[in-house]
A = this chain, B = another copy of it.
C-alpha cells in the first residue's frame, strides 16, 4: 500500500467509525502535510482517492468535506474481477425493450429508468428561450441550420469545452438528434457488419443494442467500478480481436459510475492510437459531477483526431429536445455526410432554443442546482440501501451521474427480482441488461435521479424484503 493510500484508508476508517461525520471539514492540505509529516502531494493524492470513492468532496475555495455518513459505507462491487472479453454476438435487445417498456409507466417507482426526473430541468426557462427564438427565427435557418448544424449553437458548445481546457474546432462539431444518434453515426462510420468493437463489461445497454442491430460483435472488456476499463484487458483484446473501434464511457460510466483518472485516459488515447483504433467516447454524464471540476473527456488528449467524442444536452439541460453532438476528429466530414443521408438534420427550433438559452447565461447555475440535487438523492438512496438491503451488499458510490450499481450477496437472480418488483409497482434495471452474455445476474442498477420521497423509501424497503427472502433464486 502506498503512503497516500494508507493515509486515505486512515481517513476512511475515521469516517466509518464516526469520528469524522457527514459535513465535517477535513484539515487543509497544508495542515495535514505539516501534522502528518507527509508531502502536500501525498495529501492531495489521498484526498483525490477519497473523492473518487465518494467519501469526501471539494468545495470551491473552502477545502474538503465529508460527504458520506458512517452508515452508508458499503464495499465496492467486485465485478471487475471477472474475465469477460470474448467476442460475442449479442442478444440483449429483446430483454432491454421489455424492461424499458416497464419504466415508461408513470405509476411505477422508476429505479429502473434511464432518465432522471424531468422536474430537475429548467423546462419553463427553456420554453421561454424556445418561444423567443422560434418567433425571431429567420425562415432560411431551416436551410442554414442543416447538418452540421446551427452555427451559434456549435460555437457555444466549443466555448464550453474551451472553458474546461479542451480545444475543439467549431467546424469539427456535428449537431445530432441526441448523443445516441452521434454514437450510432460514429459506429457506422468506422465499422461494418461482421466487424468487432470493444465495449465495457458491464456496458451501457444502448451500446450493446446498437452493435447488435448493426450486426457487429461486442468484445466486452472487464471494467473497474471506479476507474473504468481494465487497461491490460483492453491491450490484450486489441491484439487478439483487431477491433474497428472502442466504444467507452470515460466519465460516470453507465451502469457503474466509474470515472477513468486523467492519466488513464491519456494512456487509453495513446494505446488506441498505437493500434490505429478510433475511440467512440460517450460523455453524456460529464457535466453531472459532484466535485468541483468537470472530469475531462479523453478527447482532451486527442492529438491524432482518432477520438470520436459524443455528448448531448439531454441529461444536463434539455430532456426531450433531442439535441446532441459528435466531435469526431478526422472523421468529422464522414460523420456529417452520413448524418445528411440518415436523418438530414436536427430540429431547427430545438437547436435555436438551446443556443439562445446558452447565450443568455444561467446554464452553470442550473447545473450547480442539478448536481446538488443528484448528490443529495444519491446519499438518500445510499442510506436506504444500507437500511434495507441484505448484509453483504456492495455498491458503487459514483462521484457524479445518477446511477448506483449494486452487487448482491449469494445467488440472487435480478431478472426474477425485476419481475417480482414490477408486479409490486417498482422498476429496477437488472445486471444482465448490461452484458452481451447476460452476466451480472446478481447486480442491479438503481436510478437516484428522482427527488427522494416516502414512496421511494417504501419501495427500497420492499426491494430489500424481496432480496432478503432470496426471492430471486
Contacts and interface: CB of A to CB of B under 8 A. Distances in A.
Given A104-B146, A342-B181, A140 B118 contact: yes
A186 to B, nearest CB: 13
Interface in A97-142: 97, 100, 104, 106, 115, 118-119, 121, 123-124, 126-128, 130-131, 134-135, 137, 139-142
A446 B146 CA distance: 21
Contacts of A192: 193, 215
Interface string A198-216: 0000000010011001010
A142 B319 contact: yes
B127 A134 contact: yes
Q: How many copies does the complex hold?
A: 2
A206 B341 contact: yes
A344 interface: yes
A177 B130 contact: no
A126 B118 CA distance: 25
A353 interface: yes
Nearest to A177: B343
A134 B319 CA distance: 13
A338 to B, nearest CB: 6
Interface string A280-311: 00000000000000000000000000000000
Interface string A177-207: 1101100100010001100000000000010
Given A97-B337, A128-B135, A131-B135, A143 B104 contact: yes
A350 B188 CA distance: 27
B347 A180 contact: no
Contact of A135 (B127, B340, B341): B127
Nearest to A180: B344
Nearest to A194: B193
A323 B142 CA distance: 13
A226 B395 CA distance: 67
A320 B348 contact: yes
Contact of A130 (B121, B139, B342, B349): B349
A320 B345 contact: yes
A109 B345 CA distance: 23
B140 A106 contact: yes
Given A180-B344, A341-B93, A343-B181, A143 B128 contact: no
Interface majority SS (helix, strand, loop, mixed), chain A: helix
B320 A141 contact: yes
A227 B93 CA distance: 42
A139 B115 contact: no
A300 to B, nearest CB: 27
Contact of A184 (B131, B337, B343): B343
Most buried by B among A184, A338, A346: A346
A331 interface: no
Contacts of A176: 343
A145 interface: yes
Contacts of A348: 320-322
A349 B320 contact: yes
Given A215-B192, A320-B142, A341 B209 contact: yes
28 contacts: A93-B337, A97-B337, A97-B340, A104-B143, A104-B144, A106-B144, A118-B142, A118-B143, A121-B139, A123-B137, A123-B139, A127-B135, A127-B137, A131-B131, A142-B320, A143-B319, A176-B343, A177-B344, A177-B346, A178-B345, A184-B342, A192-B215, A193-B215, A321-B347, A322-B347, A323-B347, A347-B350, A350-B350
Q: When A and B form their complex, which 9 residue pairs have the shortest distance between CB atoms, in order from nearest?
A: A142-B320, A320-B348, A131-B131, A118-B139, A347-B347, A142-B319, A181-B343, A177-B343, A127-B134
Given A97-B337, A184-B343, A322-B347, 14 more contacts: A97-B340, A118-B140, A128-B135, A130-B130, A130-B134, A131-B135, A141-B320, A176-B343, A178-B343, A180-B342, A181-B343, A322-B346, A323-B347, A346-B347
